[in-house]
Amino acid sequence: MTTLAMPHTEKGHRRLGAHLLPGENSTRFSVWSTRAHTVQVRLNGQTLPLQPQGEGYFETTLPVGAGARYQFVLDGQALPDPYARFLPDGVHGEAEVVDLQAYPWQHQDWAGRPLHDCVFYELHVGTFTPEGTLKAAAERLPELAALGVTAVELMPLAAFPGQRGWGYDGVALYAPFAPYGRPEDVMAFVDRAHGLGLAVFLDVVYNHFGPDGNYLSAYSPSYFTERFHTAWGQGLDYAEPHMRRLITDNARMWLQDYRFDGLRLDATASMQDDSPEHILAELAREVHALGGHHLLLAEDHRNHPELVTEAGLDGIWVDDFHHEVRVAITGEQEGYYAGYRGHAEGLARILNRGWLYEGQFWNVSGEEHHRGKSADGLEAPSFVYCIQNHDQIGNRALGDRLQAHEGVTAAEFRGASTLLLSLPMTPLLFQGQEWMAGTPFPFFSDHYGELGQMVTEGRRREFAYFSGFSTLAVPDPQAQATFESAKLNWAERDQGEHARTLALYRALLRLRREDPVLSVRTRRALSAGTFRAATGTEGLWVRWQTEHGERVLLWNLTGEALTPRTLALPFALPPAVALYSEGDPAQPPALDTLTLGPGEAALFAPAEAEQARA
């Protein structure tokens, strides 16, 4: 086999790994290493040299196309390619040369969705369907479109060790996790979603690598630094150009080659960078330079508006809304829930201010500090609100969902859902939430031997402030049965309380889309406050006032039944019931006959608005 040495630069730097060249009959193999003296590629059973190019680069071009299997050999040691585009046998095995331009896209005219149009649906490919594959998940996409969500958010796809897991221990950022499907299966999923009007977002982890299968240090230890540390180990050195490019090129790959519409950036508070331009700002700049509606969302608990106003990201997952809602209906105040009172007053403040903590002291044991800044510079779509997500379910001892808490009624769950989906902030649902799924979502992984035990014990220590980790029989994360328990039971949707909840979600998402007042995505139209029951307990009111009219939501958090028309509100209650969380969405009750039980919610509109809708 003849070898050809050929230097290669693209976008001002070399592309590392294996890249199919035009004509599809030859592939360039490129390596950067500060450790190796000699580099070879073991290709289809042959071992061939890469030529040194200086400054740690080694390169060759060989007459092989897509489908070729290879590993790099550094000073005699065979290693997986950390830039591999596909690892069919797992993160410790051979890589496969793939052609990312070969997929025949069917929906070339897809233009994306702006953030204000997004209703996110977070799903985990391995548990979304019985099969646990991208192909099977794609078959369910028409049902999500019919539900009324507009954006699917996939939990991480980057290759991680084992056959199952959440995906936050990824080590090969460019290779889709093989048990979910091949690269073309990822593309087919995105393509089908676009054909149904669904944007597709991907959860990416750029703040740490998993503990098993990360070979970057074997190529060069300078990818990492002792200047920073994360909860998961040594910090990434974003000041090292190769680490920085690994991250920014990875984002471009998912958005350009796979045509994702945006990325959710995991744990951005742990992306510590002392470079002149923070890595988050560079990501935002490069992603937005791609044009269209490519979006970046931060998972960040700090309540820092400058992530949007200065770094240029588009939105932030807001913990305060979830935590205040949960405490309000469960009464839990363990761990980080200790920072919330669970009162209607706190919820009203969040809705008026965007989040709760704007610099107040965060007096949670072990984390005492001032937290947050004013969010006055952010508009409603930049706040991503939820009442459930993978973390807030899976970080519990049993992975139990909100409605599984012994103190939560189905009515309270539906009341919280009514609030979430009525607001102009960007809502996020977690798979199965729309029918109040009975399946849990516990933490699960597939680490072998001692590492598996260390991961299990590490999670017990990390969440020791939740009493359930010491008092309950916590499922073994390494057990196959724990993973199987998380798979959605789609048959539930047509049964009892599940079907009732699904009907409510469909009605709420239709109102959110079609109602001329609720479809306005601005905080300026929104105000919130509290009302008192005879016992002195408080419920929540939310009011929308736009040029198209007025809407009011009441959520009964008082613990007693209330008659809405008799409440002392600071405004006149609109006379027509647009939606009642416990009623038939197609036939709302009359105001004079409506009683709101504990946990229930209702939306009210002027009579003429309801006549027009009818």
Task: Supply the residues annotated as catalytic.
Answer: 266, 299
The DSSP element (H or E) to which 200 belongs, if any, is strand 199-204
- Look at residues 310, 300, 331, 378 and name the one whose alpha carbon lies nearest to residue 115: 378
What number of other Cβ atoms are within 10 A of residue 147's Cβ? 18
How long, in residues, is the chain? 614
The answer to whether 301 and 362 have CB atoms below 8 angstroms apart is no
What number of other Cβ atoms are within 10 A of residue 359's Cβ? 11
> What is the C-alpha to C-alpha distance for residues 146 and 513, in angstroms, rounded to an integer?
13
**What's the token pair of residue 292?**
């269209």
- What residue ranges in 368-436 does DSSP mark as E strands? 369-370, 383-386, 426-430
Q: How far is CA 396 from CA 208, 355, 403, 457, in A?
A: 22, 23, 13, 14
Sign, CA torsion 535/536/538/539? positive
- Show the DSSP H helices in 331-467 as ranges: 344-353, 390-394, 410-422, 449-462
The answer to whether 554 and 601 have CB atoms below 8 angstroms apart is yes
> What is the C-alpha to C-alpha distance for residues 339 and 326, in angstroms, rounded to an integer?
12
- Look at residues 346, 343, 342 and name the one whose alpha carbon lies nearest to residue 327: 342
> What is the C-alpha to C-alpha distance for residues 90 and 105, in angstroms, rounded to an integer?
27
- Which residue's structure tokens are 């588009």? 314
Contacts of 186 (CB under 8 A, 6+ apart): 134, 157, 176, 180, 258
Contacts of 536 (CB under 8 A, 6+ apart): none
- Which residue's structure tokens are 């599940």? 498
**What's the token pair of residue 91?**
């993160």
Contacts of 361 (CB under 8 A, 6+ apart): 368, 369, 370, 371
Contacts of 125 (CB under 8 A, 6+ apart): 132, 133, 134, 137, 154, 155, 157, 177, 180
φ, ψ of residue 184 to 5 degrees: the values are -70, -25
What number of other Cβ atoms are within 10 A of residue 260's Cβ? 26
Greatest CA separation for the chain: 88
Q: How far is CA 193 from CA 51, 116, 574, in A?
A: 43, 18, 39
> What is the C-alpha to C-alpha distance for residues 226 and 235, in angstroms, rounded to an integer?
7
The answer to whether 152 and 190 have CB atoms below 8 angstroms apart is no
